Structure 1
Amino acid sequence: MAIPLGSRAETTYQALHDWQHSLHSTCNQEHSVIDRLVRSISRRLSVRDNVHVGANFHVGRNSRIWAPRSLVIGRDTYVGKNVTVEVDGHIGPGCLIANNVGIVGRTDHDHNQVGTHIRHSDWVGDKPATLSTPVSIGRDVWVGFGSIILSGVTIGDHCIVAAGSVVTRDLAENSIAAGNPARVVGFRFAPDKLVLHKETLNLLENERR
């Protein structure tokens, strides 16, 4: 008995659909493997000596993270593309560091050496004990695009550093800072909401342990 034309067309269509779905699934799996491989290579190239990162850490392309002695980065922290971090210290969990940010030493080269060109003066990588001043960045901090943070400062929890700012001194928790040099221009949360925000984050972090 001949198969009606309509049924034959439906069967052919279903076969093509199944083949397309299988091909799409295979391609997705291959792309997923390639994406993981690219991320792994990018991370290995970006995260250099003396740096320790937490779980679910992300770093974008063309970024470089290095420390003279030790830098610890907490879990769930995101570092964007073209970021330079070259300091000792600590960056807390849940931070967002946007593209083109620089977190760098203010005393990387000993500019007080008499009779020595700055190009050949002592460098922090060779003499970290005398030239390195650590940075401390709290948890849940957003550092905006193109900002610069100089070593030796402490940025409290839940701060926001506006795009293009230059941070040269400490920022208390919950501050919003902007400008060059960066100054406090506001606060992220009202006092009651800050308490609730802290309590909620503490519960989330306790659940992950």
Structure 2
Amino acid sequence: MKRVILNRAISFIADITYLFDTLLKWLHFPLYIELYRQEIWSRSLKAMGDNSKILAGTVIHGANSLSIGSSVVIGENCHMWANGGLTIGDDSLVAAHCTLTTLTHNQDGIIYRKTTFSAPITIGKNVWLGYGVTVLPGVSIGDNAIIGAGAVVTHDIPPNAIAIGVPARVARQR
């Protein structure tokens, strides 16, 4: 009888321990992963300001050429080719699924993969790139600009502009 009670008590303690351990992992593990991801990015990038975040699924090629200001948020599943130099100013928001590329190919080349060249991208302070925006090499986006979802930015956008479309055109000033 004592052995049955002891086995049940051990089983009960094991069950409680398992549930508690599972609960702790469920509550704290995502936080740990997020902190780890931010630490890795801050060590990999050319510069990363305070309170900036790069969310899950973002891929950055040439991270050592990417400078991010303070309080910048880069949304989920963005792709960045920063090899040619990419700067994102303070307080900017890059929504999910954006593509920023400083690399392209010479369209007059015979074999395109052998004609890669780069041009820097500069994104000013307090800029909002909407969902799915694409920014091509050599573009500067001025401070306080908004780029509408799905736009393809092929040329410079002035400060305080709202640009939309493919290719992106200034719709109005803020």
- TM-score, with length taken from structure 2: 0.75
Q: 1:39 to 1:134 in 2, by over 3 A?
A: same
Match of 1:73 among 65, 68, 75: 68
Q: Distance in 1 between matches of 2:54 and 2:139?
A: 23
Gaps spanning 5+ residues in structure 2: where? 1-19
**Post-superposition offset of 1:38:** 1.1
Which structure has the highest strand share of the two?
2
Question: What percentage of residue pairs aligned between the two structures are identical?
Answer: 30
Q: Find the counterpart in structure 2 of residue 13 from structure 1.
A: none
Secondary structure in 2 matching 1:164: coil
Gaps of 5+ in 1: 1-23, 124-130, 189-209
SS at structure 1 position matched to 2:80: strand
Q: How does 1:44-63 map to 2 (within 5 A)?
A: 50-63=45-58
Q: Is the counterpart of residue 91 in structure 1 residue 88 in structure 2?
A: yes
Which whole-Å deviations, capped at 9, do the CAs of 1:7-27 have from their partners, x for residues lacking one?
xxxxxxxxxxxxxxxxx9xx6
Distance in 1 between residues matched to 2:144 and 2:50, nearest whole Å: 20
CA RMSD of aligned residues (A): 2.8
Which residue matches 1:19?
A: none
The equivalent of 2:137 in structure 1 is: 151
Q: Residues of 2 paired with 1:40 and 1:143: CA distance?
A: 24
Q: Which residue of 2 aligns with 1:11?
A: none
**In 2 relative to 1, CA 50–30 (structure 1 residues): closer, same or farther, beyond 3 Å?**
closer
2:55 alignment partner AA: G
- Report how far residue 68 of structure 1 moved: 7.2
Q: Which whole-Å CA distance do the structure 1 matches of 2:79 and 2:149 have between them?
A: 15
Equivalences for 1:25-174 in 2 at 5 Å? 33-43=28-38, 50-67=45-62, 70-87=65-82, 88-105=85-102, 107-114=103-110, 117-119=111-113, 121-123=114-116, 131-174=117-160
TM-superposed CA distance for 1:112, in Å, is 3.8
Q: Aligned to 1:108, what secondary structure does the other structure show?
A: strand
Per-residue deviation, 1:64: 1.3
- Once the 2 structures are TM-superposed, how far is the Cα of residue 82 of structure 1 from its aligned partner? 0.6
Counterparts of 1:94 and 1:45 in 2: how far apart (Å)? Answer: 21
Q: For residue 146 of structure 2, what is the amino acid of its counterpart?
A: I
Structure 2 distance, partners of 1:151, 1:178, is: 18
Larger radius of gyration: 1
Q: Deviations over 1:134-192 (max 9, x none)?
A: 0010000000001101110110000000000000000110000000010000122xxxx
Query: In the TM superposition, what is the alpha-carbon distance from 1:101 to its structure 2 partner?
Result: 0.4
SS at match of 2:47: strand
Q: Deviations over 1:96-151 (max 9, x none)?
A: 1100000013x43445443xx434x254xxxxxxx220001000000000110111
